[in-house]
Amino acid sequence: MQISSAVLKKDEKAIFGLRELYQKYGYSQFKMSKFEPYDLYVRNKDFLISENVITFTDAGGRLMALKPDVTLSIIKNTPDAPEFVQKVYYNENVYRTGADGTYKEIMQLGLECIGQVDAYCISEVLMLAAESLAFISEDFVLDISHMGIVSPLLDEAGASPAARTEILKCIGEKNAHGVAAACAAEGLDSTKLCALVTTYGAAADVLPKLDVIRTEGNAAAMDELSLVLKTLEKCGFGDRIRIDFSVICDMNYYNGFVFRGFIQGLAAGILSGGQYDTLMARMGKKAGAIGFALYLDMLEQLSPETPDYDVDTVLLYDEGADMRALTETIGLLTANGKRVMAQRSVPEKIRYRQLLKLQERGVEILENNA
């Protein structure tokens, strides 16, 4: 049986399309259990988007959790093999607590590259992130930052841990006045940190301007950013790939490239990713890693594809109708590509193109709306 793309919802289309895309680049599907021992999340609580994990006690008395995140499970279950790269993608539901305290099931699709992550791997993951966004909508933006550029600037400025947290928050808000105020409070030079906030835009425009924030400490990261973005230029995404240092991720987990993807019509980023070697090290792994996740539940917020009609035909039949004639008529209509609903009387709130009635002498057209 062939599946028509017309019956698929936006998120279902994305799942099928993107799975094909990831498989094309050698990524294999990673399946995992819905449950993990709660302990896994307690040790890495800040890595989770939502702190509240849904827990229960299993038959053996262990405290288990409905998985709120996929990356931690993948790291835990992937053998540590730093000499090559393991490429996996996943399509899983995660369970989180919303801001209003209610439980939410979220459909997440993403990929992870674990092992010897080099500039090519990073470029490939970023290219796949951009391709994923482009698959959903041509009108997308992928913002890329590098924690190896941001972090040394904070170190070199000599910010205290409290000021560091405040400055990072302000960088994430594009809040240059806040950065200046936080620096002034500790007598720090804010020039380069403010420049981080105001330096953003299409990669081709911004790369030549990055010298204003280049220091000895971030030179290597700067060169890596430049190399990867120049590689991406060849993929033809043009100004949709942007440098934006306001993409900030927790430095206890992320170390290198961090990125976020946006789609016109959605109020928040739909894709989030980064390089998380620090998290790998915290979990006792020697390998490096980079990956991203797409929050497909957000696609519901895009203008809905409401069909004009719920069904093509409503076929009415009487109590004593000939079942064989009814089945044959429905078979004939569905074979012609019609969506048919058999009913004894006209259902309420159903929009149909045609209303038919099965009579002894044949099929009678009662109403034609199209």
Partner 1 sequence: MLNVALPKGRLGEKVYEMFEKAGFACPSIREAGRKLIFENPECGVRYFWVKPSDVAIYVERGAADVGVAGKDILLEYEPDVYELLDLDIGKCRMAVAAMRDFRDDPRRTLRVATKFTNITKNYYASRGRDIDIIHLNGSIEIAPILGLSDVIADIVETGSTLKENNLEVIETIVPISARLIANKAGFKFKSAQIEALTAAMGRNGGEK
Footprint on this chain of partner 1 (rule: CB under 8 A): 139, 141, 143, 170, 173-175, 177-178, 201, 242, 246, 262-264, 266-269
Minimum CB separation from partner 1 for residue 295, in Å?
Answer: 13
- Residue placing its CB nearer to partner 1 in the complex, 90 or 292: 292
- Residue placing its CB nearer to partner 1 in the complex, 142 or 358: 142
Minimum CB separation from partner 1 for residue 248, in Å?
Answer: 12
- Residue placing its CB nearer to partner 1 in the complex, 51 or 139: 139
Question: CA 349 → CA 310, 313, 316, 338, 339, distances in Å?
Answer: 9, 14, 16, 19, 16
Phi then psi for residue 369, to 5 deg, are -100, -10
Per-residue b or e along 249-283, where b marks 16 or more CB atoms closer than 10 Å to that residue's CB: beeebbbbbbbbbbbeebeebbbbbbbbbbbbeeb
Unique residue bearing structure tokens 């204003």: 212
Minimum CB separation from partner 1 for residue 228, in Å?
Answer: 20
- Residue placing its CB nearer to partner 1 in the complex, 119 or 162: 162
Per-residue b or e along 183-199, where b marks 16 or more CB atoms closer than 10 Å to that residue's CB: beebebebebbbbbbeb
Residues contacting 331, CB < 8 A, separation 6+: none
Minimum CB separation from partner 1 for residue 265, in Å?
Answer: 9
Minimum CB separation from partner 1 for residue 126, in Å?
Answer: 17
Please measure the distance between the N-terminal and C-terminal CA atoms of the chain and give it in whole angstroms.
Answer: 28
Minimum CB separation from partner 1 for residue 239, in Å?
Answer: 10
**Planar angle of CA 271, 247, 282, nearest 5 degrees:** 85
- Residue placing its CB nearer to partner 1 in the complex, 247 or 340: 247
Minimum CB separation from partner 1 for residue 246, in Å?
Answer: 7
- Residue placing its CB nearer to partner 1 in the complex, 201 or 347: 201
- The tokens for 180 are 């200046």
- The tokens for 147 are 């924690």
- Residue placing its CB nearer to partner 1 in the complex, 104 or 339: 104
Residues contacting 193, CB < 8 A, separation 6+: 153, 154, 157, 167, 171, 179, 183
- Residue 63 pairs with which residues in a beta bridge? 57
Minimum CB separation from partner 1 for residue 78, in Å?
Answer: 31
- Residue placing its CB nearer to partner 1 in the complex, 42 or 162: 162
